Amino acid sequence: MSAELPNCFLRQSYEFVSAAASPEFPVYGRIEKNPDLNRPDFRNTLYWNPDIRTDENGKAMIEFYTSDDVSDYVLMIRGFTGDGLSGFYTDTISVTDQIY
C-alpha cells in the first residue's frame, strides 16, 4: 500500500547501531606510530561497548577519546544485570579546546 505525503514532509533513512553492526572507532595507538593518521575526528558517537562488566561493588571504569568537535555531548549508559534487570544513567560532558 502506498500513501501520498504532503510536500512539507521529509523522509529520511537512518542506519542505527545494533549488536550486529557496531560502529568502527579509530585505533589511536597507530597515530602515535604514524603521525600522518592524525586528522580531525568529528564522530558524534564517542564510545560504544556492549560488554562492560562491573566489579563486585557494581562499579566499572571506562576511558574513551572524545570527538575533536568542541561541543556538549549527552552521556547515556544503559545496562542489564545477569538477572535481566535494567538500569539507565544520563549526564552531559563538555569537549573544549583546552589541553589538559
CA distance 9 to 7: 5
**How does pLDDT run along the chain (100 residues), one tens digit per residue?**
667 777 777 777 766 555 555 556 666 666 556 655 566 778 777 777 778 888 999 888 888 777 888 889 888 888 888 888 888 889 998 988 876 6
Closest among 68, 60, 76 to 31, alpha carbons compared: 68
pTM of the prediction?
A: 0.53
CA distance 21 to 11: 23
Here the cell at position 11 is 523522509
The domains found in the chain, sorted by start residue, are 28-95 (2.20.130)
